[in-house]
Amino acid sequence: MKIKEVKTWAVENPPPHFGGPFWVFVKLTTDNGISGYGEAYGVPFSPSRVRSLIEDVAERHVIGQSPFQIETMWRVIYSSGFGQHPEFTMGGIISALEIACWDIVGKAVGQPVYNLLGGMVSDKLRSYTYLYPESGVGSTPDNAATNARRSVHNDPDIAPKRAEYYVNLGFTAIGYDPVMPMGSFDPRQISLERLDNAELVTKNLRDAVGSKADLLVKTHGEMTTSSAIRLAKRLEKYDPLWFEEPVPPENKNEMARVAHSTSIPVATGERLVTKYDFAELLNKQAASILQPALARVGGILEAKKIAGMAEAHYAQMAPHLYAGPIEAAANIQLATCSPNFLIQESIGMFDGFYAEILKKPIQWQDGYIIPPTESGIGYELDEAVADAHPYTEEKVFPPMEQTPYVAELEGR
């Protein structure tokens, strides 16, 4: 069995764009007619160019090869052009092609991927959601730069009401960023005004949900080390489950300083690529909760290796998801077979367009994802829906503030 064809899509995710404004998918098809789907997340180029890059790499290194030769394919692509260094572009491309190969392999042998990586450990997966406003405006990293000062995340009155809404749906954990926006000139020193507000939001959230839900502070690398430590000390009494990306991931020594200065577990990983990035993180004791994005980190097997390293350090896995449902499918396969799985990020209840673009939607029930029993990654892209929703803009996701963020303007 050899891989014969490659096809890609850039699909528009209609408003309110939860999970991003577009998703990039790939399909590989073998000479005996088995197809597998993959997804690339966070490649920092316009979607049309990302599609071309995937097709280029597939034609050079995947077409004509066996889908079972995943290790060989991975090493050849990772090393091409004398690379052998973690970076977003090749990370996303490898991930998309690797996930598609696993989907083919699972279908070829009639097993879900998790059965090929050690078997089911968890028969249901605890999940969490971002706080989304009722209107879908000003909610998440999609529009954090432009809507930061009117986001549900940093509104001390609206945030607890939305948290109560999600707890009533069955969620037992809520993610929020009380110090948005994300900016090109981060990290920055957070003003006293914003520190006060972040503490008030967290207090009100804890008062609203009590012990029914964990609070997940997701700060997207926006703060300096000293600012992150100051915020952590304020928030410790509200017992968050984690403090995510308190500083940018580029300096793991500084992230370790934050981790060693607070009782709140530090989580990170959505902007890390390959086992090599995560090995450094673990060696420096910079985080105890790892959040690889499987459509960026290098794919399913690479994430399984990271989970193994994490297990030896008593670190837990919480796969990141702010992408499309094929990355979600890969995350679910990893989570199901990983003994140190903690919680899976979800896009609400995986409903709306997230469900429409799959032939069978992801099953979510009472705060948990139910792993699929179908072979491969468990879900099929509805190609007719993908074809009907092409993304034609040339934007790069997510947007970042492109001018220095002035502290004096915070809260105004």
Q: Which residues are catalytic?
A: 220, 320
Residue 290 phi, psi (nearest 5): -105, 135
343: left (phi over 0), alpha (psi -120 to 50) or beta: beta
Beta carbons within 8 Å of 250's beta carbon, 6+ residues apart: none
**Can you list the alpha helix ranges (DSSP code H) found in 284-400?**
300-312, 325-336, 353-356, 383-388
Give the Cα separation of 116 and 107 in Å (integer): 11
What is residue 368's three-state secondary structure?
strand
Look up residue 104 and give its two tokens.
């083919």
Q: What is the largest CA-CA distance in the chain?
A: 63
**What b/e readout covers 215-248, taking b as 16+ CB neighbours within 10 angstroms?**
bbbbbbbbbbbbbbbbbbebbeebebbbbbbbbb
**What b/e readout covers 364-384, taking b as 16+ CB neighbours within 10 angstroms?**
beebbbebbeebbbbbbbebe
3-state secondary structure 177-238: CCCCCCECCCCECCCHHHHHHHHHHHHHHHHHHCCCCEEEEECCCCECHHHHHHHHHHHHHH
Query: Which 8-state DSSP code applies to residue 341?
Result: B
Give the Cα separation of 98 and 327 in Å (integer): 11
